[in-house]
């Protein structure tokens, strides 16, 4: 176990569509005290013309929590950011990293790396409307625009517009020919490029994202950047966050066991069921909690088979828990 304390550093859980909804974030907050939690990307259109309550509401326990926006029109970004701030988000982030066709045709996501002036105008418009930080999540490049100078010029532009915090997924995006999933696996990771960015922009908070899975990996990277953002590992193996949290912020009191974490989640599930939220929309986020431990498969199977019924409630989670032997503190696996 790593016990060093680097409390000025940032640990964040990445925005992930269909994954980091409010139920997932509530659950992850039970695991990590310090991690910044990001919403799924929400388009400016959904906020301005859709059901704001549905897209923006969250639980107070989630703080610190950042809203990620997808969009490019400065006025729409500013209005959506203002709505986000009204709902109480601690940070508004713009997605300049998503490579999907749908997003590209909407002229937002990673393709905006090629339009730094438009991104800067968006940041300026947002900053004139809100007080909380405006941040950017981006890639190290797109297609053949993948040298360091391209990234440096992009970050220079957003810094000029007043953005002081950039999250960099350390691989480029290939905008045609690769699916979003392939775009998270095929272009190679390049951490040194993100380290260099931090050196050249000392006033910018630079957060490294992509391929980080263990506390020791984070400890190896953290001296070069201001923070780390964890995506898939935080979702698929959420208890990894316990080690990561401790590696960056030190040990405070006794660790919870995974069983205790689940029991705390039950109160939340009970409340949400009373509001008619289907059980499966909460249990899908907790399937990976016991990964690698005895009973993990029975846990997953019980939840998958029984949480789908319309009248299923917290008792399904309690029954699933009885399939898993109660071990010591959560990261002992
Ligand atoms: C299911 C899924 C959905 C994602 N959705 C978003 C998104 O809405 N916005 C975004 O900026 N990145 C999104 N990403 C990318 C992640 O935020 C992150 O940059 C990427 O997974 C690399 O980090 P990792 O290697 O730690 O997973 C998504 C990733 C996954 C796996």
- Closest ligand 1 atom, CA of 213? 26
Which ligand 1 atom is the nearest neighbour of the CA of 41?
8
95 lines ligand 1 (CB under 6 A): yes
Tokens representing 71 are: 């969009």
Class of domain 10-249: alpha beta
Residue 191 predicted with pLDDT over 60: yes
Between the CA of residue 153 and those of 64, 98, 205, 298, 309, what are the distances in Å?
30, 19, 16, 51, 53
If one compares 333 and 130, the residue with the highest pLDDT of the two is 130
pLDDT at position 170 over 50: yes
pLDDT score recorded for residue 329: 66
Q: Which two tokens stand for residue 50?
A: 């859709």
98 belongs to the catalytic site? yes
41 lines ligand 1 (CB under 6 A): yes
Residue 7's pLDDT is what? 55
pTM over 0.85: yes
pLDDT tens digit sequence for 22-43: 999 999 999 999 999 999 999 9
Average pLDDT estimate for 168-189: 94
Nearest atom (ligand 1) to Cα of 232: 27
What is the structure's pLDDT at 205? 98
**69 CB within 6 A, ligand 1:** no
For residue 256, the number of C-alpha atoms closer than 13 Å in the C-beta half-sphere is 18
Q: Which two tokens stand for residue 46?
A: 């959904």
CA of 49 to the centre of ligand 1 (A): 25
Question: Domain extents for the chain?
Answer: 10-249, 258-328
pLDDT at 333 over 50: no
CA angle 24, 206, 155 (to 5 degrees): 115
Crossing angle of helices 240-249 and 22-31, rounded to 10°: 60
Q: Residues 119, 224, 230, 38: is their CA dihedral positive or negative?
A: negative
Q: Which CATH architecture has domain 258-328?
A: Up-down Bundle (1.20)
For ligand 1, whether the C-beta of 227 sits within 6 Å is no
C-alpha distance across the termini of the chain, in Å: 12
Neighbours of 220 (CB within 10 A): 12
């Amino acid at each position: 176990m790593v016990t060093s304390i680097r409390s000025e550093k940032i640990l964040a859980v990445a925005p992930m569509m269909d994954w980091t909804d409010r139920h997932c974030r509530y659950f992850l907050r039970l695991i990590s005290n310090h991690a910044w939690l990001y919403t799924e990307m929400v388009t400016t259109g959904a906020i301005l013309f859709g059901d704001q309550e549905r897209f923006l509401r969250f639980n107070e326990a989630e703080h610190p929590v950042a809203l990620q926006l997808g969009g490019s029109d400065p006025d729409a970004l500013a209005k959506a950011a203002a709505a986000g701030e009204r709902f109480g988000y601690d940070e508004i982030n713009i997605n300049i990293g998503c490579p999907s066709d749908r997003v590209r045709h909407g002229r937002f996501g990673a393709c905006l790396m090629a339009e730094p002036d438009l991104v800067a105008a968006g940041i300026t418009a947002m900053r004139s409307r809100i007080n909380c930080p405006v941040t950017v999540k981006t890639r190290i490049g797109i297609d053949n625009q993948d040298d360091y100078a391209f990234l440096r010029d992009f970050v220079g532009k957003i810094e000029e517009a007043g953005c002081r915090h950039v999250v960099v997924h350390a691989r480029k995006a290939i905008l045609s020919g690769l699916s979003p999933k392939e775009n998270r696996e095929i272009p190679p990771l390049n951490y040194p490029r993100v380290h260099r960015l931090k050196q050249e922009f000392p006033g910018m908070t630079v957060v490294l994202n992509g391929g980080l899975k263990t506390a020791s990996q984070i400890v190896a990277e953290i001296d070069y950047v201001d923070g780390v953002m964890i995506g898939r590992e935080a979702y698929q193996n959420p208890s990894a966050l316990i080690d990561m949290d401790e590696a960056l912020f030190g040990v405070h009191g006794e660790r919870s066991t995974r069983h205790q974490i689940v029991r705390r989640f039950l109160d939340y599930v009970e409340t949400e069921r009373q509001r008619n939220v289907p059980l499966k929309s909460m249990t899908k986020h907790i399937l990976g909690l016991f990964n690698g431990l005895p009973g993990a498969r029975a846990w997953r199977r019980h939840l998958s088979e029984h949480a789908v019924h319309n009248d299923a409630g917290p008792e399904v989670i309690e029954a699933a828990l009885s399939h898993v032997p109660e071990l010591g503190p959560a990261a002992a696996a």
